[in-house]
Structure 1
Amino acid sequence: MFFSRAIVLVALPLLAVATSRMHKVRAPAASCCKSLEPASSDAGAAALKAISVVVQDVNVLVGLTCSPITVIGVGSGGECSDYTVSCADNSHFPLVGIDCVSVAA
């Protein structure tokens, strides 16, 4: 009896830690990019070279000249006349978004 209670007491904090970490993952925000190129293309390779970034997968899509799309309409607003994308790495905005996926507008 004591052993089963001890296991429950040990397991509960582990469950709480695992649950709190799962909720911190967020989907990348939508962005508007002037062009969407493979990293292996001339334009994609030049943009990555300019910011000194090397990607492992040359087929990854790179968004060029990007800006965030906001719901409120600040910045580029809620519209995109070019490529609406979601990029895994937007730390190099506004120049480059890395590992982008085109999303429905």
Structure 2
Amino acid sequence: MFFKLSVVVTSVFITLAAAIPNTTPPVTTPTSNQCCDSVVSSSSTAASVVAAVLGLDLTGLNVPVGLSCSPITVLGNNCGGTEVTCDAPQQEFGGLIAINCIPITA
């Protein structure tokens, strides 16, 4: 009985993994000011997990990525994290990840 259940569960996971398309995000000149909770390497475990959830393939990219980001606005710059300029606006990935983040220096 347990064997049949494990075969069914494994089949479901394989089907779901195949259904989620992996796309490589574009890397362009950073133009979007963001406040991110953290900035990590695109090859880090944390970045890989978030990217996998979003269906992004970070393989081969060697850029810093921001995690849990929101746009910095002129009216309310209360960034409690790291201020960076990134490629991808947070709207594209729901604020979970931003690509090619360079620290903003004053």
TM-score for the superposition, normalised by structure 1? 0.63
Structure 2 equivalent of residue 30 of structure 1 = 33
The number of residue pairs the alignment matches comes to 76
Larger RCO, structure (CA 8 Å, separation 6 or more): 2
CA contact (8 A) 2:39 2:66 kept: yes
Give the strand-richer structure, 1 or 2: 1
Shift of 1:56: 5.0
Structure 2 equivalent of residue 6 of structure 1 = none
* Larger gyration radius, structure 1 or structure 2: 1
RMSD: 1.9
CA contact (8 A) 1:33 1:63 kept: yes
State how 1:54-73 maps to structure 2 within 5 Å: 54-73=57-76
Structure 2 equivalent of residue 93 of structure 1 = 94
Aligned with 1:93: secondary structure? Answer: coil
Aligned with 1:32: secondary structure? Answer: strand
Partners of 2:103 and 2:30 in 1: CA distance = 14
CA contact (8 A) 2:42 2:63 kept: yes
Structure 2 equivalent of residue 21 of structure 1 = none
TM-score for the superposition, normalised by structure 2? 0.63
Structure 2's unaligned 5+ residue stretches are 1-28
Structure 1's unaligned 5+ residue stretches are 1-25
